Amino acid sequence: MKYLKPIGVWLAILCGLLFLLGCSKEEESPVKEKAEKEEDSGIRLVKEYVSFKQIATLPLLDLQKREAWQKAVPEVVEIAIPRRNGEAEQPALWYDSGTKEKKPLLLVLHSWSADYRQHYGIPYGAFAKENDWLFIHPNYRGEFDNEEATGSEKAVRDVLDALAYAEAHAPVDTDRIYLAGFSGGAMMALIMAGRFPEKFTAVLSWVPVFDLNDWYGSVTQSSQAYADNYRKDIEASCGGKPDTDDKAKASCRDRSPATYLSNARGKPVKIFISGGIHDHFVPPSHAIRAFNELAEAPHDRISASDYRFLDENEALPDGLKGQGEKNSLFEEAELPVMFKRRSANATLVLFDGGHDIVYNAGFLWLSEQHR
């Protein structure tokens, strides 16, 4: 009996050490997971750029747009892409290291109230440089405040011209052609995916507008200070008030992913769609409805009652709870994943945040997509 007490003490000490080691491992796991992801993928993430919200706080935004690009990624240059029918050339930003081997192409579309020099495009250029990818950032008719922009036929042609420019001027790996956009750019990315699914390996769409007519209804009813500007932009783009003008309504429909995206269902192109459950700007139902258009099995689709509940309550309905995942890149951005679902070629991620983007999570996902 006299030996049992020392043995018990040593067992207690051993258990305590194991507990402490377990805690240490748990605390370090997000950092370790991130490093392992980067190592396994063979890519370099852009650690200085995390999210839209984070970039908004950087001194870089105090600089003029071109000056900011020159400071952050001086290797990115301005180019002019020829247009048809004697139109003025399309301005764009371009990066090609000049190495001869085939490499991925990252075609990035600017957001609604911006042009090809927008500050929030800088992380894409920085990532391309770090990983020797090709990068092109076309203007495609600039801000979405006129009929020539906002998903118009001319804007679509400009995106195709940017792709053609890259393929003509650099050794593009045609098995790794990636399209990415945020907000209005995400809307345009989904239009391109629906209309030309064969041209892209993968499409990244952060907080997209899915249906312009529906979004017009949202901004006309919104009390947010910015809402009136976007209402006017939609009216200027579509030629009137789509809630009272049938011609304007048809024009908005022609400029919406809702009209085309089902054409990409089951096609080889992979599509990642993400929305914020607290997004007051573009309700998360837009991301969900885009996913529903691509989902192959009916049971993969999210019901209208569920996505309306999410819009109204900024919370997941009971049927969608418990379907998130731990992701160190989203957590680093303080935008944890609350819900994730895959169906056929589509992935939907809903995060605990607003109108935002997690750059490195997108880069990692793109890097894993091949034909």
Helix axis angle, 184-195 to 153-169, nearest 10°: 80
Query: CB–CB of 269/193 below 8 Å?
Result: yes
Sheet with 77-81, edge to edge strand ranges: 77-81, 90-95, 134-138, 103-109, 172-182, 202-206, 270-276, 346-351, 337-343
SS3 label, residue 25: helix
The model's pTM is 0.90
Residue 319 is given by DSSP the state G
pLDDT score of 19: 47
Q: What is the pLDDT of residue 27?
A: 44
Could you state, in order of their start, the residue ranges of all structural domains in the chain?
A: 39-211+256-367
138 strand-pairing partners: 92
Rounded to whole angstroms, the Cα distance separating 147 from 150 reads 7
Task: Give the residue ranges of the chain where pLDDT is below 50.
Answer: 1-6, 9-15, 17-30
Q: At what angle do helices 65-72 and 122-131 cross, to 10 degrees?
A: 20
237 touches 119 (CB < 8 A)? no
CATH number of 39-211+256-367: 3.40.50.1820
How many other C-beta atoms can be found within 10 angstroms of the C-beta atom of residue 201? 20
Residues of the chain with pLDDT > 70, as a percent, come to 89
Q: pLDDT tens, 185-236? A: 999 999 999 999 999 999 999 999 999 999 999 999 998 888 999 999 999 9
